[in-house]
Structures are given as structure tokens and as C-alpha cells.
Structure 1
């Protein structure tokens, strides 16, 4: 069964924004058509913008191989009230890191694996007082959310 490009693009846009969430697109499109149609309208708009730039989406029928990342940076955000500082989540050989980049100088704030995050999240969920002693745990948990949202969990060496 061939799906419309607008539907495929809408599903991809939803996944890019929220990660792989429930209801899955196939379930959403059949249950909450209003919510699915809202994302389809955004997809239509993006296709018009692409078309204005001379880009057309063409369905080939077969998924392309997953492209290799071109950068170790998964996500980068401006640090609040520090216009010259960015905070990046990066893939490392043995996991992931949170890096502050100020005036072109990178400083690793912390390095972790997803196993570390799972253990630390368990401490938080169980109310273990040890969680309060983990420096910048909130940053680590926020970084893990971005790693999963952007489907980058498999990129870290020390998963």
C-alpha cells in the first residue's frame, strides 16, 4: 500500500518534534483524525516552502539507508542569559557528553552512558536521597530526553 507523501512527511515531522511517541502515527491517523490532519496541514505547508525553493519530494517506494551522522553534536541550545555560551549534547566513544561551548572553547560538563541515566532516573523515581548528591542530574536527564527524542540512543558507544 502506497501512502501519500503528505502523510509520510506529517508522520516524520511529528516524530522529529516529539520522538517516537504513542499513539503511533498509524494509530493516531485512525483514531484522532483531527490531530493527524493538523500535522498533515503543517506537512503541506513545508512542502509548499520546499517547492518555493525548487525542492520536490518524490516517493521512491523503498526506504533509503540510514544516513551516517555528519557531526557528533546531537542537539545544541543557547544557555539562558549567556549569549556567548551554547550547551551541546554530543556522542562520545563511550557514551554521551554535555559540553559548554563559550567563545569557541569547549568544556565537557559531564559524560555518561544511557545505563548511567537509567540508574540515576531510578534513584529519582524512588525518592532515593542519593539522587540529590548527583551534580547536574537535571542536565543529564534532560540530555537523555533529547537523545531519545532525536532517535540518537544507538549512536553512543557505551549505551
Structure 2
């Protein structure tokens, strides 16, 4: 069965909603405050949802439109997965190799240019290396990476639809 661009995009948006619902529940119900890398992972989820929303509204039928939204949403998923991978790496460092804690994200956003904020956040800090929660032996960033890998199925499907032979 050949799915439409809209149905694939809507499925991806639903999964983004699920990822954000879990993140917000852990923050507001379980009291786990997000570190700067967690916030950047949320940006990756939201950016992917935004691209998929535009794809669902536009619902391109041509190969180039499907390929465009597939590539663009795959880039946002890859960005989020990269940040999650960086977070996992930071958590795997020995305690003496973990960077010291710096200023919080809101302070950096107020005081520094955006490029400096991104560089500082991606270099990590002590708060990002803490493991506050484990489920089935995986930390939250590891679960987020799993979520991004599942979410990548939507852009990959859009790309597959763009290259699949037309039926008709």
C-alpha cells in the first residue's frame, strides 16, 4: 500500500507529539528539569514536527516535493539525534573528565550571541553529564536517540515515496 505524503507526515507529527508529551511529563510531573542538551533535543523534535506539518498541509504529489520534505525533515531528525548522541557520550565520561558546570541556558541566551550559546551547550557541562533517570538500562538521552531513530522512519518513507515508481 502506497501511503500519501500527508499520512506519512501526520504519523511523524503524532510521534513528535508523543516525544514532547513524554518530555513534558518527565519535567512537570516527575520533576526532572531539562539540561541545555535536553532543550536542544526538544528543539530537534519541534523542528521536525514543523517541517512535517508544512509537508502535511502542502501534501506534494510530485517527486521533488516529497524528496524536499524528506530531506529537510531528515536533517532535523539527524540534528536532534546528533545532540542526543553527544549527550550520551558526555554521560559516559569518567567523573574527572566531565566539563565543569557553566551558566544556565537562559543566562547564556541573554548574554551571548546564539553561535556562542550553541558552541557552549554542545561542549557540555556537568549538569548534562548527570544521569537522573534510567529505564531498562538506558538513560533519557539514550531513549531520546531511540525516539529519533524511530522518527527517522517518516522522512525515510517520504524519500522512498519520492523515488518509488508511480502507479496509475
Task: Identify the structure with the greater helix proportion.
Answer: 2
Q: Which has the higher contact order (CA 8 A, sep 6+)?
A: 2
Q: What TM-score, normalized by structure 1, do the two folds share?
A: 0.32
Q: What TM-score, normalized by structure 2, do the two folds share?
A: 0.31
Which one has a bigger Cα radius of gyration? 1
Task: Identify the structure with the greater strand proportion.
Answer: 1
